Structure 1
Amino acid sequence: MKRKLRSNFPRGSYLWAVRNAHWHALGIAEEDCEKPKIAIINTSSELAACFSHLDGVAAELKQAIREAGGVPFEVRTTAPSDFITGAGARGAYILAARDLVTNDIEASVEGAMLDGMVCLTSCDKTVPGQLMAAARLNIPSLMVSCGYQPSGEYRGRHVDIEDVFVGAMHVVTGNLDRDELIGMSREAVKGPGVCSGMGTANSMHIVCEALGMALPGSTPVAANSARMGDTVRQAGQRIVEMIWEDLKPRDILTPGSFANAARAVLAVGGSINSVKHLQAVAVEAHCDVDVYALFERLADQVPVLSAVRPVGEHTIEAFDAAGGCQAVLKQLEPLLDADAITVTGRSLEAELDGVTVADESVIRPMARPVASRPAIVILRGSLTLESGIVKTGIVERKVRRFTGPARCFSNSDDALAALEQGEIRPGDVLVMRGAGVCGGPGMGGGASRVVFAIDGAGLGEEVAMLTDGHLSGLVCKGLVVAEVSPEGAVAGPLALVEDGDRIVIDLDTRRCDLEVDADELERRLQRWRPRQPLFDTGWLQQYRRTVQPLTKGAVLVRSEGNAVD
């Protein structure tokens, strides 16, 4: 006997009657109103190529759900894209919109008491926003990757959105002709889907599968490809089965699954943004996992097995053809929690049985890694009391210990101006603060632009950078300690740094320290005053007042003492 659905109410009751009235007007037969009611979470938007194809995907998914015996309801949410949504409020809406996605889903899906949901995952912040909602609502949920965009060619060379991003900052420093950049921008994106490198979007799509929240073998995938269409149809069938089985996200999101996801990110040299997003999902799932400590502990155990742009020279298409996430997990199998279950209801061990790697030159075995040193390193120290993150990439660095005087800036515009005027010199440590989750707010502030401008100025190997801001998942240049926590806006040690102070960054000891004595720091702390909050109205004000620190995933749970006023 099938279990009772939470979406069903006694026939003739108030809720049954008013819902039936609306659904009858939408063409839904009364007998269908007793079936599983399933939300299709769609971030369709005409603002960016990332989302432009999702309406077509949703239509195909609806048909698959109906054929499987369910009733689909399309639910729209906000749709943040870094390259579009980053224009206003100095980029403050980018991360802040992640939590709007979560709350949009809660209001619609929980308000209507639907039975399950399929999330159409696309650009950077929509993926964790949807995962967080699944963890929070804890109803049967399945993530469907909606694919990466095709990139192009310019003057006989590959060009993608990363090249345009880097090139724009090379124009600022006079290292690239503006017309060349314009030509690149016209060829970089040739269709719908997310950025084609191993940035945050593709990293988080892989995270969905490694967590067990996406169908095995479904990530990454080319947008609108035949394989993506197959996955969409399978998802429509499977979500109905999951509802009858009552298989929920918190059955899947265990400490073991988070460890598996961390291993997958480390193995592909994925985006550092995956760390805070995974922490946020763990918080919403009520899963007692310190994701930062996980990455810290696992870094030396997990070799880099694949080098997709921008970490290496392989394309995402080559990675996909080699077997994608499932092939990475197969190579990592001896290290994984094989008992973790997936949305199929089967263990990861069962799903990996019989899997082969199509191209071991692209996704290598652990005995022959791309790099033995970790591609992502968590730093502790007197400047990074809670954490700081370095994406070291796969290149063996000549200098693993950097010591230099601080050059401090409170925003990216001032830092860029100093670079243009030649005020940043070899040996300096550029400090950009006030760009954290509270100070940005939402980690807006353009830290990535400064990194690329340093590279454009030819100082990539001669200048280090320290910031409480976040980096685009496409950033893999120079020595940059990002997401420093506690952040400057809440009187973290970064707020107390002054021009000329000596900073030590040591990748081998994994420390980031300020060489200033404790008494002097205490005097500075007594003099320190918070700056006037930026964008102190509307959503950004609400976000700033309620956001928790990065160690809690920057989720919006009221925590006294975190507000910046």
Structure 2
Amino acid sequence: MPELRSLAANSPTRRSHWRALGLSEADMLKPKIAVVNSSSELAVCFAHLDGVAKVVKDAIRAAGGVPFEVRTTAPSDFITGAAKMGSYILAARDVVTHDIEVQVEAAMLDGMVCLTSCDKTPPGHLMAAARLDIPTLLVIGGYQASGMIGDEHVDLEDLWSGSVGERFGKTPKFPIEDMIPQAVRGPGVCAGMATANTMHCVVEALGMCIPGSAPVRANSEKMFDKARAAGARIVEMVHEDLRPRRILTEAAFRNAAAMTLAVSGSINAIKHLQATAVEAGVDVDLFAIWEEMGRKVPVLTAVRPNGPVRIEGFEDAGGAAAMLKRLATVIETDAMTCTGQPLAAVIADTPEGDTAIIRPLDAPISDGPSIVILKGSLAPASAVVKLGIRDPKRPERFEGRARVFDQTAPLLAEIEARTLEKGDVVILRGQGPKGGPAMGGGASLVLFAIDAAGLARDVAFVTDGQLSGLCLKGLTIAEVSPEAVDDGPLGQVRDGDIVLIDVPARRLDVLVDAAEFAARPNEAQPLSAHPTGYLDLYRRGVQPMAKGTALVQEPAHP
């Protein structure tokens, strides 16, 4: 059994502090486990986590460990995205990571269990696990209940798309005021395969949670059972010295990419995984992995917003565990998991599940990759397009005139005034990691507006900003890199330039003489020219998409 880190720091003053908290002398010799909690009364995403923390702490004590609950920031897109056009959302991911470091690492604790919930806490926890490299488990906080109006289901996707659409002349599914009390009926993350549930499935594919954890109904008995199991298992992991960098290998990242492609998950998973790889010191190119795995992995389920299946149906069909079983022949099953066994052993014990909801590889919902990486003269490094379930009515090759915007408001005004024309390529720039900053700027709002105005099949949308995991409308190219304000060529595009999007060829190009284009000045304007406080620090320190927009370029512990 390895020597406990916490024992090396057991000075008399530290023991005195802990005795005052109620610890005994026997407790001083036990594994010290952080229970990382982002509980918050601001948002339902995190409102239930205090109850989960209690279950985990009780299980740790029963297993012979000593739990210490610590708190981090709690970013929720629909609540803490209110200011600065949502710039705090992505930036908060790195606050979570740094917050864990300055509490858990500084105190030299032996392991941690992270209660992971809304979009940015799963990657924040994974990044911290990779950075600290102490035994770590993530507990999936679960998804929120949603309601009914008459005999029809209503959730947050309906409310958001309906409220945006109403402004642009599209009648919502139900009156907005009727949907507000039904869209969210309890704690947890957004229903559907948006970023949170995508990342929960990714955590399972990486091997960083108790098998069978994702997705899960918030506050269900299943969720609490997995929380108890995590509390017991983390003490064993400390004694086994099973640390994240044995689990977060290149094989694990390939498996996570396969999971995201198979569920047609959020494109945000790519940058979160890349940031985690950077923290783990794993030299992988997630964009290259995405292209490689995209040739092997079709869409195997149609969870909203991809299709009609509700997230409850996906969970009941076997969830991420059953999906990994379907993918066994194309993923790396020798990858280590938190169980101390390779993924192959976990898959062997996994039930088959419902093959009508989670299809076999030879009978997919849709052929071809659900997410594609483009490059070209407008995206020398990368750009991402989500195709989801392939639709023959949606073009995958588009050539049209550029309409260039540096701010969201004037673009929304043009959509509202119906001045965009069929064949336009709408470019919204200055929305990237530095330009937003932190990819704030409302690109998702623009996409819903284009759809509401009936233009989703007639125009293409290109941006260096990010998209909500709920977005799957029309031909949209996002996260173009290098971003415009970081000398990216989007800053040199002018109204009227011809832009070619060729998904089958994996190209995003501007059809302008190369010498003429290179001679143009970059005219891109950041969303906020002079951010202050933390957003200023973020802009000055953030790395490009190839580094996952992380605030550190090299791992903390090479």
For residues 307 and 179 of structure 1, do their structure 2 counterparts lie closer, same or farther at Cα, with a shift above 3 Å needed? closer
Task: Give the alignment of 1:77-96 within 5 angstroms.
Answer: 77-96=72-91
Equivalent of residue 112 in structure 2, options 114, 117, 127: 117
Letter in 1 for 2:146: S
Equivalent of residue 511 in structure 1, options 492, 507, 514: 507
Number of residue pairs aligned between Structure 1 and Structure 2 = 553
Cα-to-partner distance string for 1:164-218 (whole Å, 9 max, x where unaligned):
1111210220223698112212210000000110000000001111011111111
- Secondary structure at 2:26's aligned position in 1? helix
Q: Retained in 2: the 8 A contact 1:305–1:370? A: yes
**Distance in 1 between residues matched to 2:466 and 2:193, nearest whole Å:** 16
Task: Give the alignment of 1:459-478 within 5 angstroms.
Answer: 459-478=455-474
**Distance in 2 between residues matched to 1:443 and 1:400, nearest whole Å:** 25
**Distance in 1 between residues matched to 2:79 and 2:503, nearest whole Å:** 34
Equivalent of residue 246 in structure 1, options 234, 241, 251: 241
**Distance in 2 between residues matched to 1:162 and 1:105, nearest whole Å:** 31
2:19 matches 1:20: no
Equivalent of residue 490 in structure 1, options 486, 489, 494: 486
Task: Give the alignment of 1:137-286 within 5 angstroms.
Answer: 137-176=132-171, 180-286=175-281
Structure 1 position 102, deviation (Å): 0.2
Letter in 1 for 2:245: R
Letter in 2 for 1:512: L
**Distance in 1 between residues matched to 2:353 and 2:287, nearest whole Å:** 32
* Greater Cα offset, 346-355 or 113-122: 346-355
Equivalent of residue 430 in structure 2, options 434, 441, 452: 434
**Distance in 2 between residues matched to 1:3 and 1:112, nearest whole Å:** 18
**Distance in 2 between residues matched to 1:177 and 1:373, nearest whole Å:** 32
Mark the runs of 5 or more structure 2 residues left unpaired by the alignment: none
Cα-to-partner distance string for 1:341-374 (whole Å, 9 max, x where unaligned):
1000001011111423221110000110001121
* Greater Cα offset, 533-542 or 114-123: 533-542
Letter in 1 for 2:498: R
2:444 matches 1:448: yes
Tell me which residue corresponds to 1:101: 96
Letter in 1 for 2:516: E
Equivalent of residue 68 in structure 2, options 70, 73, 95: 73
Structure 1 position 17, deviation (Å): 1.4
**Distance in 1 between residues matched to 2:534 and 2:231, nearest whole Å:** 34
Structure 1 position 557, deviation (Å): 2.2
Letter in 2 for 1:464: A
Q: Retained in 2: the 8 A contact 1:490–1:530? A: no
Q: Retained in 1: the 8 A contact 2:435–2:525? A: no
Letter in 2 for 1:4: E
**Distance in 1 between residues matched to 2:173 and 2:309, nearest whole Å:** 27
Tell me which residue corresponds to 1:35: 30
Tell me which residue corresponds to 2:317: 322
Tell me which residue corresponds to 1:6: 5
- Secondary structure at 1:462's aligned position in 2? coil
Letter in 1 for 2:420: I
- Secondary structure at 1:380's aligned position in 2? strand
Q: Retained in 2: the 8 A contact 1:200–1:271? A: yes
Instruction: Report runs of 4+ in structure 1 exceeding 6 Å deviation.
Output: none
**Distance in 1 between residues matched to 2:321 and 2:174, nearest whole Å:** 42
Q: Retained in 1: the 8 A contact 2:262–2:300? A: yes
For residues 85 and 28 of structure 1, do their structure 2 counterparts lie closer, same or farther at Cα, with a shift above 3 Å needed? same
- Secondary structure at 1:452's aligned position in 2? helix
Q: Retained in 1: the 8 A contact 2:436–2:527? A: no
Tell me which residue corresponds to 2:383: 388
- Secondary structure at 1:385's aligned position in 2? strand
Q: Retained in 1: the 8 A contact 2:406–2:525? A: no
Cα RMSD (Å):
1.5
Tell me which residue corresponds to 1:346: 341
Tell me which residue corresponds to 1:562: none
Q: Retained in 2: the 8 A contact 1:140–1:248? A: yes
Q: TM-score, normalised by structure 1?
A: 0.96
- Secondary structure at 2:45's aligned position in 1? helix
* Greater Cα offset, 145-154 or 50-59: 145-154
- Secondary structure at 1:50's aligned position in 2? coil
**Distance in 2 between residues matched to 1:456 and 1:531, nearest whole Å:** 27
- Secondary structure at 2:384's aligned position in 1? strand
Cα-to-partner distance string for 1:473-496 (whole Å, 9 max, x where unaligned):
111111100000000111201111
Equivalent of residue 58 in structure 1, options 47, 53, 57: 53
Q: TM-score, normalised by structure 2?
A: 0.97
**Distance in 2 between residues matched to 1:374 and 1:4, nearest whole Å:** 46
Tell me which residue corresponds to 1:563: none
Structure 1 position 59, deviation (Å): 0.7
Mark the runs of 5 or more structure 1 residues left unpaired by the alignment: 560-565
Task: Give the alignment of 1:503-542 within 5 angstroms.
Answer: 503-525=499-521, 528=523, 533-542=528-537
**Distance in 1 between residues matched to 2:526 and 2:423, nearest whole Å:** 29
Structure 1 position 457, deviation (Å): 0.3
For residues 379 and 76 of structure 1, do their structure 2 counterparts lie closer, same or farther at Cα, with a shift above 3 Å needed? same
Structure 1 position 230, deviation (Å): 0.7
Seq. identity, %: 55
Letter in 2 for 1:72: P
Q: Retained in 2: the 8 A contact 1:148–1:196? A: yes
Cα-to-partner distance string for 1:227-274 (whole Å, 9 max, x where unaligned):
111101110110000000000000001111110110011011010000
Equivalent of residue 302 in structure 1, options 286, 290, 297: 297
**Distance in 1 between residues matched to 2:154 and 2:279, nearest whole Å:** 38
For residues 513 and 357 of structure 1, do their structure 2 counterparts lie closer, same or farther at Cα, with a shift above 3 Å needed? same
**Distance in 2 between residues matched to 1:149 and 1:435, nearest whole Å:** 30
Q: Retained in 2: the 8 A contact 1:308–1:316? A: yes
Letter in 1 for 2:423: G
